[in-house]
Every structure is written in structure tokens, then in C-alpha cells.
Homo-oligomer: A and B are copies of this chain.
Amino acid sequence: MEATIEKRLGLKELASKVMSADEAAKLISDGDVVGMSGFTRAGDAKVVPMALADRAKNEDIKIDVYTGASLGPEVDNYLAAAGGIRKRGPFIGDRGIRTLINSGDVLYADMHLSHNAEQYRQGIFGKVNYAIIEAVAITEDGLLIPTTSVGNSPIICETAENIIIELNITHPESLIGIHDIYVPGEQGQREPIPMTDATQRLGSIGIKIDPSKVKAIVISEEPDAPSLIVPPDEETQTMANYLLDFFRDEIKAGRLTNELMPLQSGVGSVANAVLDGFADAEFENLVVASEVLQDAVFNLIDAGKVRFAAATSITLTEELQERVYSNLEKYADKITLRPQEISNHPELIRRLGLISINTALEADIYGNVNSTHVSGSKMMNGIGGSGDFARNARLGIFVTKSYAKGGAVSSIVPMVTHVDHTEHDVDVIVTEQGVADLRGLAPKERVPLIIENCVHPDFKEQLWEYYNAAVEKYGNVQTPHILSRAFEMYENLEKTGSMKKQ
């Protein structure tokens, strides 16, 4: 272990900063704003947050935590449960912190993930007192090499006053060279991002840090918490097949080739399962340009379907973690991890013409999508990068099963209770019932497509009845709605446990 540390800690002047997690955690003060590494449970600091959680159990210490995206249990479960978090952003996924957000114990700011770097630059979160960043190594020339995610770590290291590094010796050394760190300058003074192909490298293998900011180095052996996605099922397979057929039609129409365009696939089980569907399809030489590489991407690389995959994090189930991290050399020239400012940058999403596939919590008959709120009030996860991608993609596709709660809930409703993706942003909706291609359509043209192609048969009649009643009452207006009835399916749900009409 000593030899490993010796080797991983190339910048020798930092050797004196090595200390225990407890000692490092003592550097943090109540009220601090802390920027942390980590994106979708990957590459997050673990042992210092756990030490902080222990402190928070016994003393009044609450901090603001801004990260790349969702973290593993150390922060988003234990530190949160210990009362150590006042405010959290820009994305969460853990059930622990979700509960505390919805009980009002933790404030949560839900933000587009490509916007954070600008927010750090402008000091929107306040002065960042500490960065806590997981690294696989610190090179002789002062490059911090991130682990399984890059996220916002470069801009956090740049803007934070102090840096605590968790040097994680469990992550394989073969991660060195995987990352591609490019950070745009100030707005109004920056150059175009020089990427014209998603497989290009733009920057360096690590984050250039100011060694004088480093106040602690803590050795960690904690692995990333594995991804919690559930395996594909019959319905996600059906959705994947509908999507593949849609792509085949696009090829026939001359809008895509057999290599498609760079693919982005959102965080979570459904998006992963849909991507899995490519394994048996005829598309080849695929490129993935996403925010997270989940199991499906590595399966597709292994199957020779995907020739290159870029993202800002790698989030794998336990099984895939073992397979990938012990064979990382095999993937070294096929994957790269970029800052989320780059992976999610509107400039690149538009230029490269991405196909974006994200999960909807619910959609409405006019094509608005809710990704975040249950019944308009309770936070589920957050918008994440779905808005960055859907707004600027060549094709903005949303996938969802047509029903939830064993059939009591329809995922298509008259009016969504929270809008994360407006009718102007949603190109295609896919459920296990079928596909609705909404491009170029007026709201009233979308209604029959969405109801007939995407809604579960149990709810079709109910949605038609609402739409027809709205047209009857207010005429054939742009977007017929009866406001007093727009949410009646939720009122049914609250009263009876089912959205169905009684």
C-alpha cells in the first residue's frame, strides 16, 4: 500500500498533507460551501464525507454541497441523514436525500448540468470554501487525475479556496489517460470549443491544480457504490424495438445513416435498457456521446457495435464494475471522460447532431415532459442533463413505460404537473405501446399520435374524453385545456389510489 501511495502521489511536496479522514473533515466549518467530485455515484469522495457525517451526528455542522451530479450513500444518504447538509445541487438520485428534500430538511436546487460551470465562475453558489475531490493519482507536474467521473471537478478545483483530495488506491491505475480535461475560459473571452467529432481529444489527462490550495490528502480504498439499475424486461425490450424501427424509418427517409449519429442515453434503468436493445440490431460503428456510460455501453463496445464512447462518468452495476475495471486497458482507446461542461455543452450537442434518449416521468397529450416531480410537488431525482441534451439534440427522444404503480397510474396525462421539457423541445415519445413522432407538429396534431400510439389502452378513452370536452367547451383553440379538470387524474389517484375514472 505504501508503494502504491508513493507511486500515485507524484507531486512530492504534497506528501506532508497526507492525513486521516477525521483530520481532514475537521477542516470543514459549519456554513461552508463545499464542491465535491462525483457524478451518478461514480468518482465521488467517500471517506471524508463519512468522517463529516460522524461529526454532524454530534455537533451542529451543516454545509452546502454542490457536485457533478448524484453521489453515492456517503454524502446523499449518511451525511444527509446526519443533518450535515443545508443545501444540495445540482442533481440527486439517492432515496435518503430525496426523502430529506421532500420533508424540507434539505434545500435542493435542481439545475441543468451544463450550466454549473458558468455558475461556479460567476460565484452563484457563494464562495466555495472547500473542494473535496477523489483522485486516482496526482502527477509530478501537479495534475490531479480524476477517477470514474470528471463532473464539475475542474471548475470546482479552479474556484474553490481550498482542496481536499481523496487519493483512492482501489481505483485502477489504468484510469490514467482516460480523461480529457478541457475547460473553456471566461464568457466573452473564450474560443470556440475545437471539437468537430465526438471521438476527438481536446485537453490534458488531468486537472491542473494549485498545490498551495491543497490542505489535505486522504488515502481511500472505498470503491464506487454500484449502480442500482434494474435489468431490461419485456417492456423495455419492446420500447427498444420501437425505437430501432423509428431509426430504420429515419434511414429510409434519408435523415440518418446506418451509423446513426452520436448517441446520448440518460441515467437510469429504462434508458440503459433501451440502449441494450442495440446489441442485436444492424446499426454499426456507433459513437456514444453521453453524460454517463452505463452497463449497456460496455456491452455494446464488447459486441463491436460501439466504436467510441465519451461521457463524464462511468456508472456500472457490481458485475460490470468487476468486468470493466479489471480490463480497463481493453477500453483505453475506446472511451474518454470529459468535464460535464463539455459532455453536456449545447455548442457540441448541436454541432455534432446528437440523438438524445432520456427517461420521462410523465408526458402530456401535447408533448410536454415532466422529468422531476411526482404529482407536481415531490422531487424524484432532478432534471440532470436531460434538458441540455433534449433542447439541442438533432433528435430529442423521451422514453417511459405507459403506466406505473401496477397500472394505477398513466404516464401520459392531460397536463403534466411540472414541466422540465416543453412542447418546443420534445421530438419523439416512446412507450411500450409505440412511438409518437411530434416533430414539426402543432399541439392538436400531436394529440392523436400520443394517445393512439403511446397511451396504455386502459387510459385512452379517458384522455380522449378530456380532450374532446376541452374542445367542446373552449373551441378548437391552440391547446385545448379545461383548467378545472386538467389534474383530475391526480385527484382520482389521491382519492382512490388510481388515476382511473370512477
Contacts and interface: CB of A to CB of B under 8 A. Distances in A.
A187 B351 contact: yes
A107 B377 contact: no
A248 interface: no
A29 interface: no
A3 interface: no
A434 to B, nearest CB: 20
Interface stretch (A138-146, A304-312, A420-428): A420-428
Nearest to A87: B442
Nearest to A378: B477
A252 interface: no
A478 B375 CA distance: 11
Given A347-B351, A440-B125, A484 B491 contact: yes
B420 A478 contact: no
B196 A193 contact: no
29 contacts: A102-B477, A104-B444, A104-B475, A107-B442, A107-B444, A109-B440, A110-B442, A112-B425, A115-B424, A125-B440, A188-B351, A189-B196, A190-B196, A191-B196, A345-B350, A346-B346, A373-B478, A375-B481, A375-B483, A376-B483, A377-B470, A377-B477, A377-B479, A377-B480, A378-B474, A378-B477, A387-B424, A391-B391, A417-B483
B192 A423 contact: no
Task: Give chain A's interface secondary structure class.
Answer: loop
A383 interface: yes
B418 A353 contact: no
Interface stretch (A116-124, A228-236, A313-321, A456-464): A116-124
Contacts of A490: 483
- In the A-B complex, the 4 residue pairs with the smallest Cβ-Cβ separation, listed nearest first, are A104-B476, A187-B353, A192-B192, A419-B419
B108 A478 contact: yes
Contacts of A478: 101-102, 108, 110, 373, 377-379
A261, A420, A474, A483: most-surrounded residue (chain B CB, <10 A):
A483
A345 B345 CA distance: 13
A394 B188 CA distance: 10
Contacts of A418: 479
Interface string A85-106: 0010100000000000111100
A487 interface: yes
A439 interface: yes
Contacts of A392: 346
A445 interface: yes
A368 interface: yes
Contacts of A351: 184, 187-188, 190, 192, 347
A382 to B, nearest CB: 9
Contact of A123 (B118, B255, B377, B422): B255
Contacts of A191: 196
A233 to B, nearest CB: 29
A11 interface: no
A194 interface: yes
A189 B261 CA distance: 11
Contact of A261 (B111, B187, B441, B474): B187
A444 B101 CA distance: 11
Given A351-B190, A442-B109, A373 B118 contact: no
Interface string A395-439: 000000000000000000001011111111100000000000001
A253 interface: yes
A197 to B, nearest CB: 8
Interface string A477-497: 111110110110011000000
A484 B376 CA distance: 11
A187 B394 contact: yes
A104 B475 CA distance: 8
A352 interface: yes
Nearest to A446: B109
Contacts of A440: 89, 109, 111, 119, 124-125
A262 B187 CA distance: 11
B481 A376 contact: yes
A23 B115 CA distance: 53
Contacts of A477: 102-104, 377-379
B419 A377 contact: no
Nearest to A197: B188
A143 B376 CA distance: 53
B481 A377 contact: yes
Nearest to A373: B479
Nearest to A102: B477
Contacts of A119: 439-440
